Structure 1
Amino acid sequence: MMHSTRPGSPQYLRAEGERLLAFARNARLPEWGYGWLDSDGSPMADDTVHTYLTARMTHVFSLAVLLGHEWAAEYADHGIAALTGPLHDDRHGGWYTATDRAGRPLTDEKAAYPHTFVLLAAASATSAGRPGAAELLAQALGVIERRFREPESGLLRERWDRSWSSLDTYRGGNSNMHAVEALLAASDATGDPALADRALEIAAFLVNSVARNTDWRIVEHFDSNWSPALRYNEQHPADPFRPFGSTVGHGIEWSRLLLHMRAARPDADWLLPAARQLFARAQRDGWNADGHEGFLYTVDWEGRPVVTERLHWVLAEALGATAAMHQVTGNEAYRLRYDEWWHWAEDHFIDRGAGSWHHELDATGHPASTVKKGKADVYHAFQATLLPRLPLTASLASAIRSSRAVAALQPPS
């Protein structure tokens, strides 16, 4: 029997989840919404309120409500108030990408990426029974359907101006990946299987068509006709949202999402083989690929390392994906990787002094900030503590709510 403190054990995961939630509470801004946390766990002093971060924290605290944390209800509601208040554009509809703390928008854009997280937050909050969440969910679904979803492809457009009058020609894989996550959660929250069908439509194109033809490397960037733009941002390879090449962590994240999709749509027989291929490709490309331990950030289209910084979210996704793959396949190799990578997380990423996880390391394992500064939020790391303890369903919220997961997930008394 595993020792209770062994990295990755159920007791360890529960304790780590509690530690991350305690750190996350620091992100609450007194005015409204949630801030980007610095390395010590204080909101950055730049006065910015990011919609996607506020939505991700609302999602996390909604999951905490479902876990039985009574205190988390107030935090989930604080996020809903921000998403229905200052972060929402009451004149034109939809959500600003970011505002200052006075509620003034900082960009003249409406982007798919933050909108997908508003949808995820609303779905998880609805599953948690939070007041106003169902209305927020209906509103988010409406905006995504009217403004972002292309009827002919089923994929999401990337970016409009504030008034929805000018559309950018760029199309992005990242926002569509998170749309899959959010649509599955919304399908669970509403009981509408058509939303899961829309998620499957996105995955079928980006994975079963595109990634299958690029040796299972995820394509991030496209033109307006959805033709891959393989050299996009070649001069700015370390961009935190639009890096050049293929992002290793997204191959891993997609592999897990396909397994959630399979729980909702078991008739789609391509999902499990594709998940295996994506995971295997990302592991070969990313783990120790430059002669140093850890998952690097990006590779080119031949699999050569490009940005070698180690980002915490990549390892967090790998931990969740190995647990999911082992649960579905029973293959012992996934469990061995799971054990190895949790030990690596404990030894390198988890910050026992200042809290949370270091969000970035350089190739030699030292804290860095080349791609991102601080410890923005706990979304990826917290989910990594949940997935190994949950049945594999379409969404984390529905998994927590399932009766056989409750006992192991209860917070400490």
Structure 2
Amino acid sequence: MITPLYNPQHKQWLLGQSKALLEFARKSKVPFGFGYLDKHGEVDLSQPVQTWISCRMTHIYSIGALMGIEGCRELAEHGINALLEHFQDREHGGFFEALEHQPGADGQAVPTEAGTQKTAYAHAFVLLAASSGLLAGIKRADELFDAISAIHDRYFWDEAAGKMRESFSRDFSESEPYRGVNANMHTVEASLAAFDAQLALGIAADDERAARWLHRANSILQFVFNLSEQNAYRIPEHFDENWNVVWDYNENDKAHQFRPYGATVGHALEWARLGCHALVMNRKYGVKT
């Protein structure tokens, strides 16, 4: 019996769905990256050009390039260039969280008022985009990978805590006294991709250039899975700067887009997938956790 996973007709259907999604999203390309699409597949100009969306699209079109789908490589290149040329803060380092659609008087991209904040969430997605770009051989992906790796190392990764700091002011002089597992979850995703990308470049798994990414993914995962065991397999999302749970965080704003009150079912599914991914990597490369 052929299972659905290996059924040729099912695989062809999945390929068709993938191509349809890639085709639908092509309209998201805007001068400074990729825009937010409405339900009709048109760019919603009321939404800024967000880093996480531009990075996700760069990641997706890098996968499309690996699949050999026409036009995907050019879109991935557009994403990498946008991150380097428009989202990157040349003055203070790091990457803006969101840009205006319209350029400034000098013709350069302008961050939104809130978009000057440097967040672990956005920087996790930049690492993902750079890693996928490396795997797909996208031009300048190596440049982006080096830039985002340096920012993760210098500001966001807290080795003592084994987790990511949440956010900083534009010049990195002030750190937010909040910690959250959402940004750390996407850091796990990006770190596993970074580990894969380094291996693809021929770097050994025990080389610090690669090993640090798997170490970081494992550290965060261990914390979250231990936490879930202590809370009936629900995962608290919000913490103070010392990683004490803040149980009533956003109690009056339960539907906050990025920091919703309580536990998030969808995130539990993501953590499960990431745990499986890390387990395979650890077993393959002999890492004990």
Distance apart, 1:32 and its partner CA: 2.5
Query: Is 1:203 the equivalent of 2:238?
Result: no
Q: What's 1:173 paired with?
A: 181
1-structure distance, mates of 2:148, 2:184: 15
1:303-346 Cα offsets, whole Å, 9 max, x none, are xxxxxxxxxxxxxxxxxxxxxxxxxxxxxxxxxxxxxxxxxxxx
2-structure distance, mates of 1:19, 1:121: 21
Distance apart, 1:68 and its partner CA: 1.0
Q: Is the 8 A contact 1:262 1:268 kept in 2?
A: no
1-structure distance, mates of 2:47, 2:280: 41
2-structure distance, mates of 1:76, 1:268: 33
Q: What's 2:205 paired with?
A: none
Distance 1:41 1:152, change over 3 A: same
Letter of the 2:100 partner, please give it. D
2-structure distance, mates of 1:133, 1:116: 15
Q: What's 2:125 paired with?
A: 117
Letter of the 1:55 partner, please give it. C
Letter of the 1:22 partner, please give it. E
Gaps of 5+ in 1: 271-413
1-structure distance, mates of 2:174, 2:123: 17
2-structure distance, mates of 1:269, 1:24: 40
Distance apart, 1:205 and its partner CA: 0.9
Q: Is the 8 A contact 2:166 2:179 kept in 1?
A: yes
Q: What's 2:246 paired with?
A: 229
1:133-156 Cα offsets, whole Å, 9 max, x none, are 011111111101111111201210
1:17-48 Cα offsets, whole Å, 9 max, x none, are 1111011111011x230000011000102261
Letter of the 2:246 partner, please give it. A
User: Taking every aligned residue pair, what percent have the same amino acid on both sides?
Assistant: 38
Q: Is the 8 A contact 2:50 2:98 kept in 1?
A: yes
Letter of the 1:241 partner, please give it. F
Query: Is 1:82 the equivalent of 2:90?
Result: no
2-structure distance, mates of 1:236, 1:259: 32
Distance apart, 1:228 and its partner CA: 1.0
Tell me which of 135, 157, 160 is aligned to 1:127. Answer: 135
Q: Is the 8 A contact 2:36 2:47 kept in 1?
A: no
Distance apart, 1:244 and its partner CA: 0.5
TM-score, normalised to structure 2's length?
0.88
Structure 2 counterpart SS, 1:246: coil
2-structure distance, mates of 1:179, 1:216: 21
Letter of the 2:260 partner, please give it. P
Matches within 5 A, 1:331-350: none
Q: Is the 8 A contact 2:34 2:79 kept in 1?
A: yes
Structure 1 counterpart SS, 2:230: helix
Q: What's 2:111 paired with?
A: 105
Alignment root-mean-square deviation, CA: 1.9
Matches within 5 A, 1:351-366: none
1:89-124 Cα offsets, whole Å, 9 max, x none, are 000000001010221111231001010000000000
2-structure distance, mates of 1:217, 1:89: 37
1:256-301 Cα offsets, whole Å, 9 max, x none, are 101110111125787xxxxxxxxxxxxxxxxxxxxxxxxxxxxxxx
Tell me which of 253, 270, 285 is aligned to 1:253. Answer: 270
2-structure distance, mates of 1:45, 1:197: 40
Q: What's 2:11 paired with?
A: 10
Distance apart, 1:2 and its partner CA: 8.2
Structure 2 counterpart SS, 1:226: coil
Distance apart, 1:11 and its partner CA: 2.4
1-structure distance, mates of 2:236, 2:136: 34
2-structure distance, mates of 1:269, 1:201: 12
Q: Is the 8 A contact 1:2 1:9 kept in 2?
A: no
Letter of the 1:11 partner, please give it. Q
Q: What's 1:194 paired with?
A: 212
Tell me which of 256, 259, 265 is aligned to 2:282. Answer: 265
Letter of the 2:222 partner, please give it. A
TM-score, normalised to structure 1's length?
0.62
Q: Is the 8 A contact 1:150 1:157 kept in 2?
A: yes
Aligned length: 266
Structure 2 counterpart SS, 1:86: helix
Letter of the 2:89 partner, please give it. D
Structure 2 counterpart SS, 1:224: coil
2-structure distance, mates of 1:200, 1:218: 17
Structure 2 counterpart SS, 1:203: helix
Letter of the 1:145 partner, please give it. D
